[in-house]
Amino acid sequence: MYKEIESNKRNSIILMIIFIFVLISIGLGLDYLWGEGSYSIVWVAIIISLLMTSISYFKGDKIALASAGAKKITKEENTYVYRLVENLCITAGLPIPQIYTIEDPAINAFATGRDPKKSSIALTRGAIEKLENEELEGVIAHELSHIKNYDIRFMTMVAVLVGSIVLISDIFMRSQFLGSRSRKKEKGSLFLIIGLILAILSPIIAEIIKLAISRKREYLADASASLLTRYPQGLANALEKIEKENLKLIKSSKAIAPLFISSPFKNKSKKVPWFSTHPPIKNRIVKLKGML
C-alpha cells in the first residue's frame, strides 16, 4: 500500500512537471512565431485561466452537487451512512464533510470541495443499498482519500495549465488569420506551418496529460483508501459490482464525470484509454488485490 501511494504521488508530480514544461515551451515557441518577443501570450493566457478557474474552484462544489441532483442528509435521516463517514473521518484525522445522497440506482459516489474543512461527499442510493458494509466503507474511504490528498486542489492547478495552453493556441490561431501579411512573410511559411500544427496539437496533448494525471489520482485514492480501512478487498468487491452492473447515472455530465469513483457513463471496452477519465476497473481491482 505504501509503495502504491508513493508511486502514484511521484508519477503525478512527474506528469505535472512535464505539463509545466509543455506549457512554457508552447508559450515561448508561439510567442516567437507571433513576433512580439515580450511573452505576452503566455502571461495573458495564464492570467485569464487563473481567473476562470478561480470561479470554478470556489463555486465548483455547489455546481457539481446541483448537477448530480444531490440532496444533503443529516445524521437523523441516515444514521448508518453518517456513522460510516464519521468513523472513517476520525481514523483519517479529517473533519466530517457534508454528506449528500443521489437518488439513482447506479453504484457510484464522488467527493468535492477545495479543502478538508469545506468538502462534501455524495453517495448514490444504489451504493447505499447494494453494497455490503465493508464495500460501502471502501467507497467512502476512497472519496475521503481524494479530500485528504487535496486532489480537488491538485486538479484545479491542472485545469489552469490546460486552460492556459488552450488559450495560447487560440490566440495564436486568431493572430495568424487576422495578422498582417508582412508579418507572415517575415517569419516564413515553414515556421508558420510549424506554429499552426503546434497550436492544433497542443490542446490535445494537454488533455491527454490532464487525463493521465486524473487516472493516477484515482490509483492514489484506491491505495490511500486501502490504508485507511486496512481492507483492500472491500473496495475491490465494490468495484467488481460496479463493473458487473455497468449502469449509467440518470443525471450524468462530462463536466463532473472525473469526480466519480467510476465513470458515470456505461463502460465501453473499445474506448481509448488515453482519453479516459478513469483507469480500467479491472486494473484497479488487480492492484487492490495485490495489496492483500
Residue-wise pLDDT tens digits, 63-122: 889 989 999 999 999 999 999 999 999 999 999 999 999 999 999 999 998 888 989 999
For residue 183, what pLDDT is reported?
52
User: Is residue 135 over pLDDT 90?
Assistant: yes
* DSSP codes joined into one string, 86-126: HHHHHHHT-PPPEEEEE--SS--EEEEEEETTEEEEEEEHH
Q: Which residues, 6 or more positions from 129, have their beta carbon under 8 angstroms from its beta carbon?
A: none
Catalytic residue among 4, 135, 137, 143: 143
CA–CA dist 173, 176 (Å, integer): 5
Among the listed residues 125, 158, 144, the one whose alpha carbon sits nearest the alpha carbon of residue 50: 158
Mean pLDDT of the chain: 83
Q: Do 110 and 145 meet the contact criterion of CB atoms below 8 Å apart?
A: no
CA–CA dist 292, 287 (Å, integer): 9
C-alpha cell, 121: 461527499
All domains of the chain in start order, with CATH: 2-61+152-213 (no CATH), 65-151+218-289 (3.30.2010.10)
For residue 179, what pLDDT is reported?
54
* DSSP codes joined into one string, 247-285: PPPSS--TTTGGGBSS-SSPP-TTS-GGG-SS--HHHHH
Greater confidence (151 vs 89) lies with 89
Among the listed residues 158, 54, 151, the one whose alpha carbon sits nearest the alpha carbon of residue 112: 151
Condensed to tens digits (0 to 9), the pLDDT of residues 186-214 reads 555 666 676 677 778 878 888 888 888 88
Confidence of residue 185 (pLDDT cuts 50, 70, 90): low
118, β-bridge pairs = 115
Q: What are the backbone dihedrals phi and psi of residue 151, each rounded to the nearest 5 degrees, phi first?
A: -65, -35
User: Active-site residue 6, yes or no?
Assistant: no
Tell me what the mean pLDDT of segment 144-156 comes to. Answer: 86
- What is the identity of the amino acid at 231? Y
- What is the identity of the amino acid at 288? L
For residue 104, what pLDDT is reported?
96
The H or E element containing residue 27 is helix 2-34
User: Is residue 230 over pLDDT 90?
Assistant: yes
Q: Do 238 and 130 meet the contact criterion of CB atoms below 8 Å apart?
A: no
Q: Do 161 and 61 meet the contact criterion of CB atoms below 8 Å apart?
A: no
